Every structure is written in structure tokens, then in C-alpha cells.
Structure 1
Amino acid sequence: MKGNQQALNIGIFALLALTWGSSFILMKKGLESFDGVQVALLRICFALLFILAIGWRKLKNFQKKDLPAIMIVGFLGNGFPYILFAWGLMHIDSSIGGITNSLTPLFTLVVGAVLYKIRIRPLQLAGIALGLFGTYYMIDPANNAALGENWPYALLTIGASMMYAFGVNTISAKLQHYDSITITALALTIVGPLAILSLFLFTDFTTVISEDPQALNAIGFIAILGVMGTGFAIILFNYLIKKASQMFAVSITYVVPIVALGWGVTVGEEVTAGHIIGIIAILSGVYLVNARKMKKAAQ
């Protein structure tokens, strides 16, 4: 990797970590007025408006043969995970959402091995096992009193992280001939219109707007989430997948939980020993999964 490209990749990596680490607190702010589904649908709507404003000309690059792959990226890489994360964060702290999101590299490796015959080495298997242990330890009510009976909702955010893995692998394996803006525009064009229709036809969005005086503030937070945390961030993320590697890109989740924990502390969320032990185990597992690639990159 050339020096300038490597520096650019590292800069994008840091920016994405800050942006996505802040996404969980933005979701919590949106949830003060709207339910989880509404937050997710609004997020997609704002992301769609942003991406069409800057990249609508890219839609002409669409090739019919790529429709299945684009649908996977649209629904599993964007639509459904946003709903699961927002739904889960209705019942758990934003910091927990950030920590469970760090499982994405582990799931990316597993999905790649199953669908695309990527070889899993013994050290990587150990990393997967350690990451899963960390997740179990963190959501076990016996180790995390702050989570309590709401621990099943953490499974929703874990499921969202698993879905992201399908999107990442699909981009890497099937959509390398598109640039990052085109991939983002096509994926959001698939899910965006459905999100708009669902928001107005199947939720009480308009009622909340008219009756909740804080609704506009919540929409402001969701707009930031949609434009920066979704539209802009996905463009950068897809760029990293193409220019660096899928494992380098998803390793952003090393840093995301730290940012999410920091935001959680600022709004009074409790940080327990379960959080700390869980995050250490998960990030250690992610390190083991990526250790060989990181060593090669350093040489």
C-alpha cells in the first residue's frame, strides 16, 4: 500500500470510528420522541436524500445482474440492522449497542468462510470464541446488573452486527466494479422508498410530530444520524472495503465501543465491570481474527 493511500485510509478509519461511535447516542436521542422502527425509517430517509443529492447520476451505472447483491447490501447492510439497533436501544444503553457492534469483524470472517470459502485459521477461531465469550459475559445479568431483564434486547443488536457481515462480504465479493458512492446510492435507492412509504402508512409518525413538542429536536438528531452516520459514513466505509480490505474496514469496531462508552458516560449511563470485561474480551477476539493481516500490513 502506498504511503499516501495508507495515510488516507487511516484518516478515514478514525473519522468513521468517531462518527459511528456517536451514532448510538444519536439513536437514543431520537428514541426520546419516536419508537425504534420510526427512528430507523427516518434514518434511511435522510440518508437517501443525502445520497441522491450528491450521487443521483451514479444510478445510471446500475447493471441488472447485480440486483441480488445490491438488495443484500440494501436490506442486510442497511435497512434491517438499523431497525434492530434502534429497537434494541429502546431497552438497553447506547454503550451496550456500541460494544455488541464490535462483533462485526468476527461475523464477517464466519460469513466469508461459509459463503465464499475464506479459510479460518486456528488463531482466528480462538478470536471468534473469545469474542463470543465476551458478548455472553457482558449481556449475562449476573455480570451486568445495569442490563437486568433487558438482556434479550442486546441480542437484537448482535443480530444487526451479523447482518452487517453479509453486506460487507457481498460488497467485497460481488460489487468491486462499482465505486463507493454508486454502491451506497444503489443500496439506499432499494430500501429508501420502502422506508418512506412505511413511515407514513404504517406508523403514527405524523401524530407524534403534531403532538410531541420535542419531536422536531428528535428529528434533528436523526437527520444528523442519517446524513453523517449513514449516507456519508457508508460512502467512506465502502471506499475502505475497496481500497484497503474488508477486514481492515470492519476493524473500525475496535474503536467504536470506546467512543460509544464515552458518550454513554456523558449522559449518565452506568459503566459496570461486565462492560469492561466484555469489551476487553471482544476486542481481544477481534485482534486475534485480524492479527495475521495486521502483521503483513506492517511489514
Structure 2
Amino acid sequence: MRSIDTGPDALGTPNTRAWATPLELGLLGAIWGASFLFMRVAAKDFGAVPLVELRLGLGALVLLPFLWRARSSFPLKLWPKLALIGAINSAIPFVLFAWAAQRAPAGVAAITNSMAVLFTALVGFLFFGEKIGPQRAIALAAGFVGVVVLASGKAAGASVGWAVIAGCSAAFLYGIAANVLRRHLAGLPPAAVAAATLGTSALLTLPFAIAQWPEHAIPVMSWFSAAMLGVLCTGIAFAMYYRLILRIGAARAVTVTYLVPLFGVAWAWLLLDEPLTLTMGIAGVLILGSVALSQRATR
């Protein structure tokens, strides 16, 4: 795939907007970083599962046109596999992050999210026979040290250890899903796959969301946060991400991973007045540094 700044575009005309790619990567990092802010605001009123149901349903609706356009590529026999991958890649991780948002600052979950890149390499090594190499092994070790540092910290006097475990478990599931997607759904339109997995996840989560739907009135700000989480941070962000992959390739698009925790911490600090702790800073440097080292080794 030819990148945006190395030649003509798909219509054969010279590309004069080389600035578009870093701008879009920054915007996507800001949007995904904001998802932890919106979860932090809305999870306390909705609860984890009802909030995730709204996120999945709204995200699937935004991406539905992509699925409809590629519907001939999705036979009935493929849908059980899509449902399983949706549970691993969307439903369960989203619930874990929403649960963590009820118990720890938004920045904590944002930092653990970046472990997904390292877990993808680890799962490939453990279960799919991929080579990991000494540089990526060092990156994994540094990342796990960062997790230990993060889990040892406190926020407002309370331990965030369980929230860190939940966030890392979600990132580990992302790592599993990334390997499964690459091997079993290769060749399908990515945005359509995202719509299908989000939609099946919404159906799987629906009974649990109904059973746990809050009986109290939900504040307007929490409704707004839930809507933004589903429409902007899931549906529109997924579409932006896959558009970037198609234009500049996955290796460059995945660099957005470095920006998400930075924006996640910044939004929480600016808008929720959440503190920036020393353990968050040390852990963030270790984890982001390990992700950068892992990506360099991959290239």
C-alpha cells in the first residue's frame, strides 16, 4: 500500500496533503484517548454492562453502511466466528474497561490499553509460533514492569491494582483477537468486519444489559458521554482507523497507540481534574517505551 506522502493518490494525481496523515493520527489518538474520559463519566451512572451495550449498538449503527455494502462477503456460516471474535475483541474488553473506569482514574485505563501491542506479540509467540526476538522480549519485560509499577500506585488514597488488572486483561484479549483476525478474517473489508463484530457483541450483551439497567434517572452528561463513546469513539473512530490502514498501511496506522494514553491522561487532567501521579508517569514511560521498542523490532 502506497503511503499518502510518497506519490500519487488512487486517482493518479499528485498528493499535496502530506500533512493529512499526522493530523488524522493525532485526531484519532485524541478521540480514542477521550473514550476513557467518557467511560469515567458515564460508567458510574449506567454501570459497566449497560454502558457497553450502548457503545456497541451505536458503534455498529455508524458502521452498518460498510457491512451492507460488503454483505455478499459474509455468508451465514461465518457469523458464529464473527460473534466469537466480537466477544473477545469488543464485548468483554469494553466491559472490563468500563468496570475499571468505575474504580480508577481514566488515565490508568488509557495506559493499560497500550499493552495491547505487546500482548499481540506475546500471543503470537505463545500460541501461533511467531518469533519474538531479543529486542521484543526486552520490550515485553519493560512493559510488564510498567504494569507492576502502575498497579502499585494509588489514586485519592485508594489502590488501583484491580483496575490495572482489568485493563491489562482487556488488552490481552485485544492481543488474542488481533492474531485471530489476521488468520481467520483476512481479505474481508475491515470496517465491515468491525460492524459485524460490534453488532453481534451488542446482541450478546443485550440480555445482561437489560438485567442490569439502572432504575435511577441518568444525568444528561452521562447520556452525552455514552453517546459520544458509541458514535464518536467507536463508530467514527473505527472508520477513521481503517481508512488510515488502507491509505498508509497497518505499520504506520498503529503508531496511534503511542498517542492514546497521552491524550487519555491529558483529557482526564484537564476536564475531570484527575491527578497526574508519579507512578502513572513512570509506568507510562516504561509501557510506551516498550511499545515503541517492540514496533521498531517489528519493522
TM-score (norm 2): 0.86
Q: Give per-residue Cα distances to partners, 1:50-108, cap 9 Å, x unaligned.
A: 22256434333203554454234311111111100000110000010111111111001
Which of 213, 217, 224 is 1:220 aligned to?
Answer: 224
Change (3 A) 1:151 1:272: same
Offset at 1:248? 4.5
Shift in CA distance, 22/94, structure 1 to aligned 2, threshold 3 Å: same
C-alpha distance in 2 between matches for 1:90 and 1:246 = 32
Query: In 1, are the aligned partners of 2:46 and 2:213 still within 8 Å (CA)?
Result: no
Name 2:161's counterpart in structure 1.
Answer: 151
Deviation of 1:126 after TM superposition, in Å, equals 0.1
CA apart distance, 1:245: 5.6
My pick for the range that moved more, 243-252 or 84-93, is 243-252
Do the aligned partners of 2:152 and 2:159 also contact (CA within 8 Å) in 1?
A: no
- Letter of the 1:169 counterpart: N
**Which residue in the other structure is 1:280 paired with?**
285
> Partners of 2:72 and 2:49 in 1: how far apart?
31
Equivalent residue letter for 2:131:
R
Most deviating of 54-63 and 244-253: 244-253
Structure 1 vs Structure 2 CA RMSD = 2.4
Q: Are 1:204 and 2:210 counterparts?
A: no
| Map of 2:113 onto structure 1 | 101
Distance 1:221 1:250 in 2: 25
Matched, 1:163 2:163: no
Matched, 1:233 2:245: no
1:32-71 equivalence runs, <5 A: 32-52=44-64, 55-64=67-76, 66-67=78-79, 69-71=81-83
Greater Cα offset, 28-37 or 68-77? 68-77
Give the letter aligned to residue 204 of structure 1.
Answer: W
The answer for unaligned runs of 5 or more in structure 1 is 295-299
Deviation at 1:36, TM superposition (A): 1.6
In the TM superposition, residue 292 of structure 1 has moved relative to its aligned partner by: 3.0
Q: What do the CA deviations read for 1:150-189 (whole angstroms, capped 9, x no partner)?
A: 4212210111111111222222222221112211122122
% identical equivalent positions: 25
Distance in 2 of aligned mates of 1:96 and 1:199: 25
The change in CA–CA distance for 1:89 and 1:45 in structure 2 (over 3 A counts) is same
Unaligned runs of 5+ in 2: 7-17
8 Å CA contact 2:3, 2:247 repeated in 1: no
CA distance in 2, matches of 1:43, 1:175: 23
Aligned equivalents of 1:241, 1:69: Cα separation in 2: 23
Distance change (3 Å), C-alpha of 1:73 and 1:151: same
- Alignment correspondent of 2:4: 4
SS at match of 1:177: coil
- CA distance, structure 2, for counterparts of residue 263 and residue 186 of structure 1: 30
Cα separation, 1, equivalents of 2:245 and 2:121: 14
Instruction: Give the superposition deviation at 1:238.
Output: 4.2
C-alpha change, 1:269 and 1:3, in structure 2 (3 Å) is same
What is the CA distance between 1:10 and its match in structure 2? 4.6
**Comparing both structures, which one devotes a greater share of its residues to helix?**
1
Q: 1:77 to 1:289 in 2, by over 3 A?
A: same
Counterpart Cα distance in 2 of 1:60 and 1:88: 39
Question: What is the distance in 1 between the residues matched to 2:93 and 2:21?
Answer: 25
Letter matched to residue 285 of structure 2: I
Mapped partners of 1:65, 1:163: distance in 2: 24
Alpha-carbon contact 1:76-1:167 (below 8 Å) kept: yes
Residue identity in the other structure for 1:271: L
Distance (whole Å) between structure 1 residues aligned to residue 195 and residue 155 of structure 2: 42
Indicate the SS of the match to 2:4: helix
The question of whether the paired residues in 1 share the 8 Å contact of 2:34 and 2:264 is answered with yes
Q: Would the alpha carbon gap of residues 90 and 221 (structure 1) be closer, same or farther in structure 2, given more than 3 Å must change? A: same
Partner of 1:13: 25
Name the count of aligned residue pairs. 286
Change (3 A) 1:31 1:273: same
Q: Given residue 89 of structure 1, which amino acid in structure 2 is its aligned partner?
A: A
2:195 corresponds to which residue?
A: 185
Tell me how far apart the structure 2 counterparts of residues 11 and 243 of structure 1 sit (CA, whole Å): 14
Shift of 1:239: 4.8
Do 1:42 and 1:199's aligned partners in 2 also have CA atoms closer than 8 Å?
no
* Paired residue secondary structure (1:44): helix
Aligned equivalent of 1:261: 265
Contact 1:69 1:170 in 2 (8 A): no
